[in-house]
Amino acid sequence: MAGSQIGRAEARTRWNLRAEQLVLVVVANLIPYKGHADLLEALARAAELLPRCWCLLVVGRDDGYGAALRSQAAHLGLDAHIRWLGSVEALDSILAAADIGIQPSHEEGFSNAILEGMAAGLAMVVTDVGGNPEAVVQGQSGLVVPPRDPAALATALLQLAASIELRGQLGAAATVRATACFGLPRCVAAYAAIYQQVLAQAPTSY
């Protein structure tokens, strides 16, 4: 896990995004439990209060749910604001181009996508499931909302959309937390401590 090495301006040029555009990103395969439908509903609720020029980048493999989501987006009048990118290799440039990262899952283990967004300095909005609230500390390194709650998700997105200062504050804290708590050196040290404990408790003779 590492932060992006590409600059914001270069990333936005690469993805044909305007400098002033509010860019949101969700990185999750298109599966019902990942909560994309909730996110679309939240964006529909928030649309009138979002900046006129906003864009949602949807990154992830279509596991058969994409057509339904595109239909929902069109029905809600959001299709002009959404780019369905599928699976991409240049995730670092997408994260560098974004302002807000979103993970609206109904269930989750411990999400690498959240950690990647944090490491890239994104203010994250995540649902309170699985390991999400362990990664993102509410109000300190991002915002945590209840799952299956488009109204709460909309409120959190509007809070971040309205304040570049808050996005910067939460994004900076997210980078620090991702590196300090979940970076490779911390993981290696934790495994080493476990092995040392096992060796210390092992019998010396048989």
Question: How many other C-beta atoms are found inside a 10 Å radius of the C-beta of residue 56?
Answer: 23
Q: Which residues contact 50 (CB under 8 A, 6 or more apart)?
A: 22, 43, 157, 158, 161
Confidence of residue 190 (pLDDT cuts 50, 70, 90): very low
More confident residue, 163 or 195: 163
Res. 175: pLDDT tops 70: yes
DSSP 3-state percent helix, strand, coil across the chain (nearest 5): 50, 15, 35
Of 13-27, 46-60, 189-203, the least confident: 189-203
Q: Residue 183: pLDDT above 90?
A: no
The pLDDT of residue 11: 96
| Secondary-structure class of domain 8-201 per CATH | alpha beta
- Tell me the sheet residues that pair with 102: 26, 125
Half-sphere exposure of residue 174: CA atoms within 13 angstroms, side-chain side = 35
* Residue 64, token pair as written in the block: 């058969």
pLDDT of 74 > 50? The answer is yes
Parse the chain into domains and list their residue ranges: 8-201
Where on the phi/psi map is residue 5: left (φ > 0), alpha (ψ -120 to 50), or beta?
alpha
Going by pLDDT thresholds of 50, 70 and 90, the confidence category of residue 98 is very high
What pLDDT sits at residue 33?
98
Average pLDDT over residues 174-186: 79
pLDDT value of residue 5: 72
More confident residue, 181 or 51: 51
Is 28 a residue whose pLDDT tops 80? yes
pTM (predicted TM-score) = 0.87
The arithmetic mean of pLDDT across residues 156-168, rounded, is 98
Q: Which of helix, strand or coil describes residue 40?
A: helix
Tell me which residue of 32, 23, 9, 182 sits closest to 106, measured CA to CA: 32
pLDDT band at 199 (very low <50, low <70, confident <90, very high): low
Q: What is the pLDDT of residue 192?
A: 45
- Whose tokens are 């993981």? That residue is 187
Residue 42: closest CA among 159, 140, 142, 121: 159
Give the whole-angstrom CA distance, residue 139 versus residue 8. 24
Return the CA Rg of the chain.
Answer: 19
Q: Judge contact between 163 and 99, C-beta under 8 A.
A: no
Residue 22's CB: how many other CB atoms inside 10 A?
22
